[in-house]
Amino acid sequence: MHILLVNDDGPPNKRLSPYVRPLVDELHAAGHQVSVAIPAASRSWIGKAHIIEASLTASFVHPDSFRDDGSWDEHFTPSAESADLRDWVVIQNGTPASCAQLGLYSLFTDRPPIDIVISGPNHGRNASTIYNLSSGTVGGALEAVFCGQRGIAISFGSKDPQPGDVIGAAARHAVRVVDHLLGHWDERVELYNINVPMRIDVETQPILYTRTLPYYWSRGCLYAEVEPQTRSEMADSSLMNGVHKEQREEAAQAGVTGVNGVNGVEKQVRKKRHFKWSADLSDMKKRLQESEEGTDAHTVLNGSTSVTALRANFWHVPGLEGPLHLE
């Protein structure tokens, strides 16, 4: 099989993307041809997004040239043993979805047609509706479907550092699951979402078909408010609601306590507010730990591999059809 592999964690990186090279090596060992197209930086939580205002630059990089921090040696010369390894493609401003698009249509035209797109392996689980609909890993597989190709999303279920033998076991196990699905693909399925628990005995643990755990945010927990960090940000506070500080002072001398920048009507002036990504997922983790048997979350958290068969659509609610009559 010719496999296109994309991900959302970016180039091999000891901290952020420790799983991609072991999986690619195992796919090669199983006899597959693998073409790799990945973002130049982490693109987690980006779903199936394309960054339309950014131009994309594809760099062809020998897989042995990557450093532990995800950078690479542009002057790298491969050894005789690795000279036959094909370059990976690293895409500046890339997302999993754009990597899938370019990988399928533009980057590997000198190679045989691609048979399947694998997205991952993600550094951590992708179980429950919020993760699946937010995940760049699942987004890469979704993009494959919209390009007329089958997709498989793979997630290795831990962000904690893992020893090499555990990563190796997870990679071997994932390839066996992939090979089985390729040989027994259900025609109703457009993509599979696989979650592999990180444990040394993963290859002897059950593999279960699962359903996706429904989950909704119970509170705002992804962003935290922060104070301005730069002089320019602090200076910006002199411009409030379109009114400069000098104008406000003049208005105050005239007996007007606040203006809105349009017609001088009194209005409380409000400063800018700053927020940054600061995910507090404690409520979600508790819900996942309490999830029902048969769901993806329950399965992977209890040490088994979850395989969730999906179709790439938001399906309509049956019965709501025909004219809508307003009262």
How many other C-beta atoms lie within 10 A of the C-beta of residue 287?
18
All residue ranges of the chain with pLDDT < 70 are 230-270
* CATH number of the domain located at residue range(s) 2-216+284-310 in this protein: 3.40.1210.10
**What residue segments make up the domains of the chain, in order of their start?**
2-216+284-310, 223-277
- What pLDDT, in 10s, does the model give residues 177-188? 999 999 999 999
Q: Is 186 left (phi over 0), alpha (psi -120 to 50) or beta?
A: beta
* pLDDT tens per residue, range 4-50: 999 999 999 999 999 999 999 999 999 999 999 999 999 999 999 99
C-alpha 157: how far from chain center: 14
Could you write out the DSSP letters of every residue in 239-306? Answer: EETTEEHHHHHHHHHTT-S---SSS----------EEEE----HHHHHHHHTPPTTBHHHHHHTT-EE
pLDDT of residue 90: 98
Instruction: Point out which residues pair with 226 in neighbouring strands.
Output: 274
- Beta strand 88-92 with 33-39 is parallel
Q: At what angle do helices 164-183 and 20-29 cross, to 10 degrees?
A: 50
